[in-house]
Structure 1
Amino acid sequence: MSIAAAYTLKHQHTDFVVKEVSRPPVEQPGDYAYAVLEKRGVTTLEALRLIAEHLGIQESDVSAAGLKDEDGITRQTVSLRAETMRPFWIDLGPEKWLRLSAPIGQYDRPLEKGALLGNDFWLVIRNLSEEAAESIWNRGGSRGQFRQYVVNYFDRQRFGVPGSNYRTADVGAALLEGDTRRAAAVLHHDTAVAMSRGGLVPGEQARFVQDVNAGMDCRTAFRAISSRLRLFFVGSALSRDWNLQTAQSVAATGHPLRLYGDEHPLAGCLGLAGPQALASLPAGIALKEPVALPSEDGVGITMRETWRATVTATKVFLIDRGPDEHFPGRHALRVFFNLPSGSYATSAVHQMVTATTAASQDPGRAAAGTT
């Protein structure tokens, strides 16, 4: 069954506000300063590069516990050596900036991935029909809140930059096969296309294209890209594999509710129709994560195997609703919720709106993953 879920998310940066919930180390104070990074219109990877560039330090000396995308206003903790730390603000152009706070503490180790507990989200869901806004609002009852279960898919931010055609998973898949030339060719093509269209192009990719266009060998230019970004490409390919494996488990329940049209990068991923189907899924599916790249081509990438829950739950708090000033004749809904580390708010919202739309169109059909 396919349901058209009409809404708009991230219409403006203030519609998508994210605050990281992290756990500082309990060890003795040391040489690493922790500070708050606030940003708008910039990815975390690009922000870390800009911090290093501004402070005149190596990019590897700046650490974050998680990645936040550029379409919103985000707040997260970063770490760097205390002697290099100083607060600053950078204006990067229209609706793009980043700010690094004064130190909030000093510890004996840099931030690590395990320090991220989750994220708080304050979102405005726009361009809803009055019926859809009312259906979601009514789910909150007298307490203005409800529990939502969602399939824990990686969302499209993991596979490219919104508004562009970056095929990060294809770049990563080529690296996993040891084919650096193909990885470089895909990245060069997609980045060049985005640049020609005036799209958002992170600095490293732009320099890569400029180097290749200036005559540098494609593989040589690719190796100049930071290992952090190349590891992101590999992780993107492994995340796509996890999504497809999870989608197969969802389809096997016999109760699929299609979430995306054929043109969407996640067209192969399915939602669910009813909490009983959610309960029949495996609790989690193994996920490989890249840890280190060799100095040369991508052969011999060091991996570690982790476990990712197939279903996650959140409590959605309804803040307010009303006519949408940006979309005449439509309605907007403001919500708050928290998700554990690694879960995507965009996927949670899409499944919530799609499930509620399905239930309103077919009253005999329970909203997927709701209680």
Structure 2
Amino acid sequence: SGVLDSLLGKPMSELLNKFACDLKNAWDLENNADAGTREFSLGPILDKKNRADLHSAVRQKFPFLVTLTKDNEMIVKGNADYRELCQLVTEKETSDFFKFLDAKLENSTFSFEPDGNKEHRKVVHHFINRKFGKLLETKSFTVTDVNDQPNMSIMVRFREKSWSRKRSAGGFQEKQDLYTAFTLQKENLETLEAIGFLAAELGVLPSDFSYAGIKDKKAITYQPMVVKKVTPERLKEIGSKMEKKGMRIHNIHSACQHLRLGQLKGNRFDIVVRDLKHHSHDSSADLKERISEAMENVETKGFVNYYGPQRFGQGQNIQTDQIGLALLNEKMVKAVKLFFTPEDTDDPVNNAKRYFLQTEDAKGALVMLPEFKVREKMLLRALNRYGVNHEGCTKGWLNIPHSMRVFYVHAYCSKIWNEAASYRLKIYGSKVVEGDLVFSEENDESVSLNDKVHVVTAAEESANKYSINQVVLPMVGHSIKYPSNKVGQWYHERLSKDELQMCKFRVPPLQLNIPGCYRPILKNVQNLSYFLEDSEKGIEIEDNHLNESKVSLHISFDLDPSCYATVCLREIMKCDF
């Protein structure tokens, strides 16, 4: 207190002492509501060095207080983190921990008393990671306690300082602004898995890659990508290594910026449908005629522009849209539990998920999960560090790249759109009615999206001014308007059913912002071509000996962005898959 006396003068130092004692007593009484809000002013301290000395002196003498400066005035109040830690460990440990924290001595460590209770240690780990995770790291060690028995103790140390940005800002900036474009060819890999492999090999983050969309897992797909902080030469070096993982890298060249989601002109599909058969109720028809009829139909009429089944995942028990709904409702823990809901199969992935749901042991589940489950691992690492509670789960979702987080919410919005499209066609058919939304013809870039969308009037309905091909339906979000007919009403009822009637379609804790958009109800295919082949002989079939051999149908077509080949194919084949 000699230091405080000399810095503050004896009278003020004594008042501070009294404030500290009173606050401590109030804390001990627990029921004192204002204990957390009490403040004490040390008056204006103009000299910066004096302020720094005072901050340090107060904290070393009273670790349970914090000091802050408001316009040169120094204020002292209770340290809520200190109070919280006191409820987990002894007062002495808490006091020593905060002195250790405040001293910030490089390479210094602090150990809590031996603690054999794993659950309790977990709570302490989570507390320190949650409050001081950027500064400190914790680890449990085996120690010998007072009775010479082996026990566990938590050790805390300062994280290694990441190199100062200021010092090497020049070199750092150059690397930041380096972009390399390439075409990724992959097979039997998710886009995000492929990025995980590439990132690990190149020593960059998955978020350093940008792409225009997520490609199908099973197919052989090609997509443009851009990676930041990697030179074309470095990318070329890893080619042969990546081939072993099922991908190839083509067309490597320098670029000047990232790609954005949706920044593509469309997709080309080459599809083979093997073992063609008639529908059971249609077995007498000529197969070749049926096929040409189906192709003609889809070419002239198009297809309903549903989001394809791959948007919602393969899961039988849980689909991605349910996770998206939980995220929109900010039910973070529920979203995590849904994310880890296993399928009813016995394989490493589902066993790990099952284990996690039963035990909430993130560390154990991490060990069980195969390497390629990138998203699951990212989430579990955060849950291991922060705990499976609302805060921990929020941190977990933040630990996966933004494009993946938003994917789940988009899945929910897509599901609503699909249902809306079915409802719209069911009640109004292909007639354009009053209150429908259509895209106006203006191609002016400066016009906002909502201004491009026109609400059909009664007069326009009577005059048949628009065709069904021009009708759009909103993808739900915060910046769209709804049709002003029964379909708009349907949207409101449907969202209420999911408790989203008041939803702002923004989830700030997860940095999610869903403005919404408009999607045409019908779409057309371009450049459709096809031929039939005898699967066994591998030759094109010209004549009508179709029904005796195994037949494959080869189809090629182009679709606009965000149109699904699965949906177009479903229309051609008249069946679900």
Q: For 2:293, which of 130, 139, 164 is the aligned residue?
A: 139
Instruction: Go from structure 1 to structure 2 and tell me whether the alpha carbon gap of 1:55 and 1:242 turns closer, same or farther (over 3 Å shift).
Output: same
- What SS is found at the alignment partner of 1:183? helix
- Counterpart code for 2:252: P
Instruction: Go from structure 1 to structure 2 and tell me whether the alpha carbon gap of 1:32 and 1:351 turns closer, same or farther (over 3 Å shift).
Output: same
- Counterpart code for 1:311: L
- Counterpart code for 1:103: I
In structure 2, distance between residues paired with 1:165 and 1:89: 38
Matched, 1:346 2:566: yes
Stretches of structure 1 lacking an aligned partner (at least 5 in a row)? 1-29, 256-277, 358-371
Deviation of 1:167 after TM superposition, in Å, equals 1.3
* Deviation readout 1:131-185 (Å, 9 max, x if unpaired): 57423443389x9x9545011100111011x376551110011000111111000
| Residue pair 2:469, 2:520 contacting (<8 A) in 1 also | no
* Highest RCO, 1 vs 2 (Cα 8 Å, sep ≥ 6): 1
Instruction: Go from structure 1 to structure 2 and tell me whether the alpha carbon gap of 1:324 and 1:181 turns closer, same or farther (over 3 Å shift).
Output: farther
Deviation of 1:108 after TM superposition, in Å, equals 2.4
In structure 1, distance between residues paired with 2:532 and 2:332: 50
- What's 1:120 paired with? 268
Deviation of 1:118 after TM superposition, in Å, equals 0.5
- Counterpart code for 2:206: E
- Counterpart code for 1:237: Y
Matched, 1:322 2:534: yes
- Counterpart code for 2:566: T
| Residue pair 2:226, 2:255 contacting (<8 A) in 1 also | no
- What's 2:472 paired with? 284
- What's 2:374 paired with? 204
Q: Which has the higher strand share?
A: 1
- Structure 1 vs Structure 2 CA RMSD: 4.0
Deviation of 1:319 after TM superposition, in Å, equals 2.6
Aligned-pair identity in percent equals 21
Instruction: Go from structure 1 to structure 2 and tell me whether the alpha carbon gap of 1:234 and 1:58 turns closer, same or farther (over 3 Å shift).
Output: same
- Counterpart code for 1:318: Y
- What's 1:159 paired with? 312
Matched, 1:217 2:395: no
| Residue pair 2:199, 2:206 contacting (<8 A) in 1 also | yes
Instruction: Go from structure 1 to structure 2 and tell me whether the alpha carbon gap of 1:311 and 1:346 turns closer, same or farther (over 3 Å shift).
Output: same
| Residue pair 2:342, 2:350 contacting (<8 A) in 1 also | no
In structure 2, distance between residues paired with 1:233 and 1:149: 28
Matched, 1:235 2:410: yes
Matched, 1:101 2:255: no
* Deviation readout 1:49-80 (Å, 9 max, x if unpaired): 22222211122211001211101000010012
- What's 1:248 paired with? 423
Q: Which has the higher helix share?
A: 2
| Residue pair 2:182, 2:252 contacting (<8 A) in 1 also | yes
In structure 1, distance between residues paired with 2:515 and 2:286: 43
Matched, 1:171 2:323: yes
* Deviation readout 1:296-325 (Å, 9 max, x if unpaired): 4x4x73122322111110142113333568
Structure with the greater alpha carbon radius of gyration: 2
In structure 2, distance between residues paired with 1:295 and 1:110: 24
In structure 2, distance between residues paired with 1:150 and 1:346: 11
Instruction: Go from structure 1 to structure 2 and tell me whether the alpha carbon gap of 1:320 and 1:293 turns closer, same or farther (over 3 Å shift).
Output: same
Q: For 2:513, which of 302, 307, 311 is the aligned residue?
A: 302
Instruction: Go from structure 1 to structure 2 and tell me whether the alpha carbon gap of 1:309 and 1:250 turns closer, same or farther (over 3 Å shift).
Output: same
- What SS is found at the alignment partner of 1:343? coil
Aligned length: 297
- What's 2:218 paired with? 71
Of 210-219 and 37-46, deviating more is 210-219
| Residue pair 1:231, 1:293 contacting (<8 A) in 2 also | no
Instruction: Go from structure 1 to structure 2 and tell me whether the alpha carbon gap of 1:348 and 1:31 turns closer, same or farther (over 3 Å shift).
Output: same
- What's 2:259 paired with? 111
- What's 1:51 paired with? 198
- What's 2:502 paired with? none
- What's 1:334 paired with? 554
In structure 2, distance between residues paired with 1:184 and 1:155: 24
- What SS is found at the alignment partner of 1:101? strand
- Counterpart code for 1:245: A
In structure 1, distance between residues paired with 2:531 and 2:202: 40
| Residue pair 1:35, 1:102 contacting (<8 A) in 2 also | yes
In structure 2, distance between residues paired with 1:196 and 1:48: 23
Deviation of 1:98 after TM superposition, in Å, equals 1.3
Deviation of 1:111 after TM superposition, in Å, equals 1.1
In structure 1, distance between residues paired with 2:182 and 2:530: 31
Instruction: Go from structure 1 to structure 2 and tell me whether the alpha carbon gap of 1:146 and 1:243 turns closer, same or farther (over 3 Å shift).
Output: closer
Within a 5 Å distance, the mapping from 1:2-17 to structure 2 comes to none
- What SS is found at the alignment partner of 1:171? helix
TM-score by length of 2: 0.45
- What SS is found at the alignment partner of 2:252? coil
| Residue pair 1:119, 1:339 contacting (<8 A) in 2 also | yes
